[in-house]
Amino acid sequence: GIQVEQSPPDLILQEGANSTLRCNFSDSVNNLQWFHQNPWGQLINLFYIPSGTKQNGRLSATTVATERYSLLYISSSQTTDSGVYFCAVEAYTGNQFYFGTGTSLTVIP
């Protein structure tokens, strides 16, 4: 199956700082999503972004499908941004949705 790698694995930020999370994938994809798993374990949809750039408030994401990576930008981080951020992809060749290993973000006041 397709390999999905995320970096960095862990990140600690001061409140108000900016960050960039990266997702690399090993094959062509027709679906890519970013999720935030909050400290209560809920998976929250952030972006559906198989290609291009999207913005939602302080968060934005860019996927460069031809180079097989996606970036999630968090600006002016807040303590409520803490949790684990997952990238998930669906390859062209199958119906399976593969998750990366996640980036654990801690925002300290």
Partner 1 sequence: NAGVTQTPKFRILKIGQSMTLQCAQDMNHNYMYWYRQDPGMGLKLIYYSVGAGITDKGEVPNGYNVSRSTTEDFPLRLELAAPSQTSVYFCASSGRARNTEAFFGQGTRLTVV
Residue 13 beta carbon to partner 1: minimum distance, rounded to whole angstroms: 20
Rounded distance between C-alpha atoms, residue 62 and residue 69, angstroms: 9
Contact segment (CB under 8 A) with partner 1 among 12-20, 44-52, 60-68, 74-82 equals 44-52
Residue 48 near partner 1 by CB under 8 A = yes
Q: For residue 49, which of 67, 38, 64 has the smallest C-alpha distance?
A: 64
Rounded distance between C-alpha atoms, residue 98 and residue 14, angstroms: 31
Residue 97 near partner 1 by CB under 8 A = yes
In this structure, how many other beta carbons lie within 10 angstroms of the beta carbon of residue 26? 14
Residue 99 beta carbon to partner 1: minimum distance, rounded to whole angstroms: 4
Q: Using CB atoms within 10 Å of the CB of residue 67, give its burial: 0 to 12 exposed, 13 to 18 middle, 19+ buried.
A: exposed
Residue 98 near partner 1 by CB under 8 A = yes
Residue 85 near partner 1 by CB under 8 A = no
Omega of the bond leading into 39 within 30 degrees of 0 (cis): no
Residue 86 near partner 1 by CB under 8 A = yes
Residues contributing to the site for partner 1 (CB under 8 A): 1, 30-31, 33, 35, 41-43, 45, 48, 50, 86, 88, 90, 95-102
